[in-house]
């Protein structure tokens, strides 16, 4: 994302002070930030610290569904994707800053909240125009380039406002000193403040900017699969009911260990509706691939979205079969995907997605609460349900039907 890098390195160097985050850097600059963030974001035990925060947000989201669904059909309004975006942003802010914005209910009509969501949408749309479609912005600064710079300025200002408020609260709670005991901090921001204030601010900003549409679109794809495959949904419900006998039974770190079919449904949903085209890397040296010499500096991509629907690698790729991910499942044995490089939704190696643990947790909690509370249906075609942009985004009204389950 060269335009994104331009904003941080050329347009607003005063704001970022030499720390440009993980998305726009490489080499030693990237390694410095990644080394600092790995212990905070990539260890499962750290991600699980945010379970109660995300459960609280999801409880509020369940009530939102009950409030906005059609009283006759139990269908969601056509703009339900906006509610999914609000859910994921509220969760990200809860994890990153230990702060509630009230996006789901309390402050949902706040001009500031609406502006934040719209700016995130504009960021993805404009980045696609400048980075994916043909553009001459590197030669002549175009109107869309200036609009993106303005959007990124606005996003940074809005996010930094919440970040500054969170830092002030941390300082007040600790009498001006950050928590001294490692592991007792309440947010990603507070953990990273112990390491480097500049890294803490930029990573919190990146989480808020990059984690919303990505997580909500992923969740949407999985919901499509579950809604269109009632037999799989019933099997998932039975697994969930075994550890959550009642709707208000609470998820815990302990009982979440016993949800293999839930995780299989998530993996299969991501395979069926991949978020991105694939894994992109820039070559540091010349290489020869399949007899072709590719010079250093060229970007190459593993097109996972094509591999995941290729019968050479995936048996019956156009069917939703969560069992293919269960190694001890007799039914799924013939559908196993043997090549580990076919399925790389979070990338691979040192540059794999730093937010994977948080995304996994948010998806697991939300799907558990939805399937345990409601029978989910989608009584419309899902053909061409997503439009491939910078990431895949829903292209149809998300009129899911959520019918209350009997206890």
208 assigned to some structural domain: yes
Confidence band, pLDDT 50/70/90 cuts, at residue 7 = very high
Q: Given this model, what pLDDT does residue 174 score?
A: 67
- Residue 322 forms part of a structural domain: no
Binding residues for heme: 353
Position 100 in a domain = yes
Residue by residue, DSSP assigns 72-109 as: TT-BPPTTHHHHHHHHHHHHHHHHHHS----TTTTTTT
CB 337 within 8 A of CB 324: yes
In a domain, residue 306? The reply is no
Report how many domains make up the chain: 1
Residue 175 in domain: yes
Q: Which of 370, 362, 379 is nearest to 405 (CA)?
A: 370
| CA-closest candidate to residue 21, choices 155, 144, 129, 176 | 155
Residue 354: give its domain's CATH number: 1.10.630.10
Containing domain of residue 248, as a range? 2-276+345-404
Global pTM value: 0.93
C-alpha–C-alpha distance, residues 181 and 104, integer Å: 33
Give the separation between CA 331 and CA 335, rounded to whole angstroms: 8
Q: How far is CA 323 from CA 261, 266, 356, 401, in A?
A: 8, 11, 22, 25
Q: At 230, list the tokens.
A: 């009632």
Residues contributing to the annotated binding site: 353
Question: HSE (CB half, 13 Å, CA atoms) of 74?
Answer: 11
- CA dist., res. 138 & res. 109, Å (int): 38
- Which residues, 6 or more positions from 195, have their beta carbon under 8 angstroms from its beta carbon? 36
In a domain, 285, yes or no: no
Please report whether residue 286 resides in a domain.
no
User: What is the C-alpha to C-alpha distance for residues 89 and 187, in angstroms, rounded to an integer?
Assistant: 15
pLDDT in tens, 236-290: 999 999 999 999 899 999 999 999 999 999 999 999 999 988 888 888 899 999 9
Pairwise CA distance, residues 396 & 87, whole Å: 19
CA distances (Å), origin 264, targets 63, 242, 324: 27, 17, 8
For the stretch 19-71, pLDDT in tens is 888 888 888 888 888 888 888 887 777 777 899 999 999 999 999 999 999 99
For residue 78, is it within any domain? yes
């Amino acid at each position: 994302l060269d335009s994104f890098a331009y904003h941080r390195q050329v347009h607003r160097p005063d704001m970022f002070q030499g720390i440009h985050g993980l998305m726009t850097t490489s080499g030693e600059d990237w390694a410095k930030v990644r080394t600092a963030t790995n212990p905070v974001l990539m260890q499962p035990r750290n991600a699980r610290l945010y379970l109660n925060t995300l459960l609280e947000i999801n409880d509020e989201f369940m009530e939102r569904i009950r409030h906005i669904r059609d009283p006759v059909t139990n269908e969601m309004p056509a703009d339900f994707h906006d509610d999914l975006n609000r859910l994921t942003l509220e969760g990200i802010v809860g994890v990153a800053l230990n702060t509630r914005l009230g996006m789901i209910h309390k402050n949902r009509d706040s001009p500031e909240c609406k502006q934040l969501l719209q700016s995130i949408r504009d960021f993805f749309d404009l980045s696609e125009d400048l980075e994916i479609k043909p553009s001459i912005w590197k030669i002549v600064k175009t109107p869309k380039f200036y609009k993106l710079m303005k959007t990124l300025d606005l996003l940074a200002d809005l996010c930094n406002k919440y970040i500054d408020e969170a830092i002030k609260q941390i300082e007040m709670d600790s009498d001006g000193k950050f928590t001294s005991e490692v592991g007792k901090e309440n947010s990603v921001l507070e953990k990273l403040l112990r390491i480097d204030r500049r890294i803490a601010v930029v990573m919190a900003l990146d989480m808020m900017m990059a984690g919303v549409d990505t997580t909500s679109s992923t969740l949407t794809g999985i919901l499509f699969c579950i809604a269109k495959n009632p037999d799989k949904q019933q099997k998932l419900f039975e697994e969930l009911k075994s550890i959550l006998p009642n709707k208000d039974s609470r998820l815990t770190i302990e009982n979440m260990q016993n949800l293999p079919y839930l995780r299989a449904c998530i993996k299969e949903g991501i395979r069926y509706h991949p978020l991105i085209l694939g894994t992109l890397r820039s070559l540091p040296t010349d290489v020869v691939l399949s007899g072709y010499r590719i010079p250093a500096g060229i970007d190459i991509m593993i097109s996972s979205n094509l591999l995941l629907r290729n019968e050479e690698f995936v048996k019956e790729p156009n069917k939703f079969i969560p069992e293919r991910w269960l190694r001890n499942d007799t039914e799924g044995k013939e559908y196993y995907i043997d090549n580990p490089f076919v399925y790389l939704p979070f990338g691979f190696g040192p540059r794999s997605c730093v937010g994977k643990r948080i995304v996994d947790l948010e998806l697991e909690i939300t799907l558990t609460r939805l399937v345990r509370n409601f029978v989910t249906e989608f009584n419309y075609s899902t053909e061409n349900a997503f439009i491939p942009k910078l990431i895949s985004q829903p292209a149809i009204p998300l009129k899911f039907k959520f019918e209350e389950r009997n206890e």
